[in-house]
Amino acid sequence: LTEIAHILSKLENITTILDVGCGEGYYSRKIKELFQVDIVAFDISKDAISIASKRDGSKSIKWFVGDLGNMPIRDHSVDCILDIFTPANYLEFNRVLTDSGYIVKVIPGKKHLMEFRNIAKEHLKNQEYFNENVINYFKKQYSVIYQKRVSEAYEMPLEDIKIFADMTPLFFHVDKAEIDFKKLKTLTIDAEIFVGSL
């Protein structure tokens, strides 16, 4: 979040931000606390949007259930798109971005949640993560004006580790009851952050 806030503080003429695949709204809420901007945020999960809306004490963020394939957003009405650990639909992104708009794309790094990969090796189809194709495709779509890798291991209680396990696509087709999460004390957040412009 610190790096994303730093990036947003440097971008010019940002009045409207679209947070795609916002989940339970953590980033939208924190950004709204820091910046005087209009934020629209959506996720495909009704439950996630319900939670996001309830946690939004300011009630100043527009939350909705939506799909990346057909975003109910006016053409050229968004100054900045936040795409944080979420798939992308660049055709739709380009449609809603203003001509001077930006996209902030956060892509998992190779060490992202490596502790999960280590304890669940035998349950995972892909034991390693490679992000080169995602990065190269982003670079074909946008002029990259900023790029940075951030990585840090965080100590977490078991309850938070289990919340991460429920959210990550890594375990979408895995029976998590077979994994001993009690062995974990830390999780590594490793990300490549890109800012692109049209």
Q: Where residue 19 sits, what CATH number does that domain have?
A: 3.40.50.150
DSSP, res 22: -
**Is residue 27, in this structure, part of any structural domain at all?**
yes
**Is residue 62, in this structure, part of any structural domain at all?**
yes
In tens, the pLDDT along 17-33 reads: 999 999 999 999 999 99
**Is residue 168, in this structure, part of any structural domain at all?**
no
**pLDDT of 190 strictly over 90:** yes
**Maximum distance among all Cα pairs of the chain, rounded to whole angstroms:** 49
Q: 191: helix, coil or strand?
A: strand
In tens, the pLDDT along 164-178 reads: 888 888 888 889 999
Q: How confident is the model at residue 124 (pLDDT cuts 50, 70, 90)?
A: confident
In tens, the pLDDT along 46-89 reads: 999 999 999 998 889 999 999 999 999 999 999 999 999 999 99
**pLDDT of 127 strictly over 70:** no
**Is residue 96, in this structure, part of any structural domain at all?**
yes
**Is residue 60, in this structure, part of any structural domain at all?**
yes
Count of structural domains within the chain:
1
Q: What does the pLDDT read at residue 11?
A: 95
**Is residue 162, in this structure, part of any structural domain at all?**
no
In tens, the pLDDT along 140-168 reads: 999 999 999 999 999 999 999 988 888 88
Q: pTM for the complete prediction?
A: 0.90
**pLDDT of 125 strictly over 80:** no
**Is residue 156, in this structure, part of any structural domain at all?**
no
Percent of the chain whose predicted confidence (pLDDT) is above 70: 99
Give the list of residues 6+ apart from residue 190 with CB closer than 8 angstroms, or none: 108, 109, 110, 111, 112, 113, 114, 149, 150, 151
Range of the domain at 70: 2-111+128-151+191-197
**Is residue 178, in this structure, part of any structural domain at all?**
no
Give the list of residues 6+ apart from residue 85 with CB closer than 8 angstroms, or none: 21, 106, 107, 108, 191
